[in-house]
């Protein structure tokens, strides 16, 4: 019935067979394309940075003839930055001259195939539902926007129900996988071990931490996990994985990246590995996974970063104030004010840690009386060097509250020229409904030149703008803090 070779949109595997013809623009001669697939891959290394950036080093063993070649490297990242690609010979350095490279990011789909045939002729095959007999007629594709418009003889058809479109061939600029096509001049041996390195988007990582408090809330067990996400359009099998923590400077691109729509579901994989090794890299930190791992396409994966038990921790209840009520008369400032719950620990070897911690979210759990771990809060941590302190806010206390009021205010006479001075008195009533004593840290930011002239409990001057009191509150009781402050602006 058909005089010419026909393929349907369902047959995409033909792309992985045979070879395309590439054209040498300088000599107008056709080059037979040599294809390299993942079967040629000897190794792959992936270094992932913060901010959707990764460096891929893909080593493959290929056979290419001496002289001019068209080499198609399949299964590269769909979000490759082609201008960063570097192809070199490992076994014969200097034997390859790269003349041209093209990144083909139009992937074969029914929609793309139809778009490429606009203005061209296809076969429209219809099946009689009663007899099952197929009939075919020629049609011209007029449009592929939001559906198909065909000219069939002297009529225009859309939708083509109970029919399928048959194409003569696959256009050369459509590929079933992301492909980097290069023209190279091989001055060395036919057997070459090539390394392709490039930067790409679509690969990201973040750190997540899980901590469990002990019953006394003075120690915790800490686990760190690295969450990897791969939407780059490629898989990296048995990859050497490294992660860079830190803010690497990047030039903003004016042109939008060449990306393709990623299809399929993202798969979650947990990979319990040995903790990563860490080292300094310039002014950043490099984490290396000590074994190979596979980062599959459209996959989110977790690997172990660190583990520590019995880390000393300090819990603190904090009532934070404001500096606005030192400049005017306010009376009641607040009732049943919330007291924040904070914990902190030192990232030191003496505290059973000491590895630079990448930024991420730290989630804290504590076991209830039945032994079940319950979530009690989370907070972000920034990149934390060795020997620094990690401080987290877990929430606000239920049983500890405060009432705050201003009991006196006046403008002080005879300030210096260009200055004004005030005096304010305050009363804080701190209440504790718990069955054990608690200590609340009262933090009062005070701007200007200030002095506490009298107080019911001693304060410390944490810095030039912060007064701090440590107030003990008895079980199921309350404590009143009073003080008077003079402030000059």
Contact 80, 200 (CB under 8 A): yes
The Cα 448–Cα 415 span in angstroms is 14
- The predicted pLDDT at position 274 comes to 52
Segment 149-168 shows an average pLDDT of 86
Closest of 116, 110, 33 to residue 74, by C-alpha: 33
Closest of 166, 167, 174 to residue 20, by C-alpha: 174
pLDDT-derived band of residue 429, with 50, 70 and 90 as boundaries? very high
The Cα 390–Cα 395 span in angstroms is 16
- The predicted pLDDT at position 279 comes to 84
Q: Write the CB contacts of 341 (distance below 8 Å, at least 6 apart in sequence).
A: 315, 316, 317, 377, 393, 394, 395, 396, 397
The lowest-confidence range among 53-67, 162-176, 180-194, 252-266 is 252-266
Contact 422, 327 (CB under 8 A): yes
| Residue 211 or 145, more confident | 211
Q: Which range has highest mean pLDDT (175-179, 287-291, 332-336)?
A: 332-336
Could you read off the pLDDT of 238-287 as tens digits, one per residue?
999 999 988 778 776 654 444 444 444 445 454 544 567 888 788 788 99
Beta partners for 450? 487
- The predicted pLDDT at position 335 comes to 95
Please state, as a whole number, how many other Cβ atoms lie within 10 Å of the Cβ of residue 440. Answer: 26
- The predicted pLDDT at position 107 comes to 66
The Cα 446–Cα 487 span in angstroms is 8
Q: Is the pLDDT of residue 482 over 60?
A: yes
**DSSP count for the chain of H helices, then E strands:** 1, 34
Could you read off the pLDDT of 291-306 as tens digits, one per residue?
899 999 999 998 888 9
Taken in order 144, 146, 151, 157, is the CA torsion positive or negative?
positive
**% residues pLDDT > 70 (the chain):** 87
Could you read off the pLDDT of 31-41 as tens digits, one per residue?
778 889 999 99
- The predicted pLDDT at position 7 comes to 40
The Cα 283–Cα 294 span in angstroms is 29
- The predicted pLDDT at position 266 comes to 43
**Torsion angles phi and psi, residue 86, rounded to 5:** -135, 120
pLDDT-derived band of residue 116, with 50, 70 and 90 as boundaries? confident
| Residue 51 or 424, more confident | 424
Q: Is the pLDDT of residue 87 over 60?
A: yes
| Residue 6 or 334, more confident | 334
Cα angle for residues 162, 163, 167 (degrees, 5° grid) = 165
pLDDT-derived band of residue 106, with 50, 70 and 90 as boundaries? low
- The predicted pLDDT at position 273 comes to 47
End-to-end CA distance of the chain: 96
**314-344+392-488 carries CATH number 2.10.260:** no
Mean pLDDT of the chain: 86
The Cα 71–Cα 102 span in angstroms is 10
Q: Is the pTM of this model over 0.85?
A: no
Q: Is the pLDDT of residue 10 over 50?
A: no
Q: Which range has highest mean pLDDT (177-191, 233-247, 386-400)?
A: 386-400
- The predicted pLDDT at position 79 comes to 92
The Cα 333–Cα 331 span in angstroms is 6
């Amino acid at each position: 019935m058909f005089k010419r070779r026909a393929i349907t949109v369902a047959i995409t595997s033909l792309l992985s067979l045979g070879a395309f013809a590439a054209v040498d623009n300088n000599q107008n001669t056709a080059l037979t394309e040599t294809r390299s697939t993942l079967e040629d891959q000897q190794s792959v290394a992936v270094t992932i940075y913060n901010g959707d950036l990764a460096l891929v080093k893909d080593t493959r063993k290929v056979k290419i003839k001496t002289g001019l070649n068209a080499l198609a490297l399949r299964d590269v990242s769909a979000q490759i930055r082609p201008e960063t690609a570097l192809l070199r010979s490992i076994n014969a350095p200097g034997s390859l001259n790269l003349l041209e490279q093209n990144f083909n990011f139009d992937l074969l789909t029914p929609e793309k195939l139809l778009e490429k045939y606009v203005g061209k002729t296809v076969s429209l095959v219809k099946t009689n539902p009663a007899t099952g007999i197929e009939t075919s007629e020629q049609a011209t594709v007029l449009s592929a926007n939001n559906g198909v418009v065909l000219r069939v003889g002297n009529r225009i058809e859309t939708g083509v129900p109970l029919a399928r479109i048959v194409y003569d061939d696959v256009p050369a600029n459509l590929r079933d996988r992301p492909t980097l096509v290069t023209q190279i001049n091989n001055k060395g041996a036919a057997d070459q071990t090539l390394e392709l390195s490039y930067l790409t988007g679509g690969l990201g990582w973040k750190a997540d931490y899980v901590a469990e408090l002990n019953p006394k809330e003075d120690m915790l067990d800490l686990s760190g996990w690295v969450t990897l996400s791969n939407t780059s359009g490629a898989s990296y099998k048995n990859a050497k994985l490294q992660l860079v923590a830190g803010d690497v400077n990047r030039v903003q691109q004016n042109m939008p990246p060449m990306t393709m729509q990623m299809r399929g579901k993202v798969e979650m994989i947990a990979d319990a590995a040995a903790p990563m090794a860490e080292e300094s890299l310039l002014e950043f930190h490099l984490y290396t996974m000590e074994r190979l791992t596979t980062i599959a396409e459209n996959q989110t994966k977790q690997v172990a970063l660190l583990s520590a038990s019995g880390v000393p921790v300090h819990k603190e209840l904090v009532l934070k104030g404001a500096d606005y009520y030192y400049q005017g008369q306010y009376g009641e400032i607040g009732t049943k004010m919330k007291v924040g719950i904070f914990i902190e620990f030192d990232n030191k070897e003496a505290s059973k840690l000491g590895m630079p911690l990448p930024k991420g979210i730290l989630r804290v759990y504590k076991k209830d009386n039945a032994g079940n771990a319950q979530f009690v809060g989370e907070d972000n941590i920034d990149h934390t060097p060795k020997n620094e302190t990690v401080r987290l806010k877990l929430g606000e206390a239920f049983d500890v509250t405060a009432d705050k009021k201003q009991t006196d205010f006046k403008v002080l006479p005879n300030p210096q020229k260009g200055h004004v001075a005030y005096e304010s008195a305050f009363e804080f009533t701190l209440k504790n409904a718990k069955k054990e004593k608690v200590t609340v840290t009262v933090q009062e930011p005070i701007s200007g030149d200030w002095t506490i002239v009298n107080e019911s409990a001693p304060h410390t001057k944490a810095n030039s703008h912060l007064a701090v009191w440590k107030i003990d509150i008895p079980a199921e009781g309350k404590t009143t803090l009073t003080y008077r402050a003079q402030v000059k602006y």
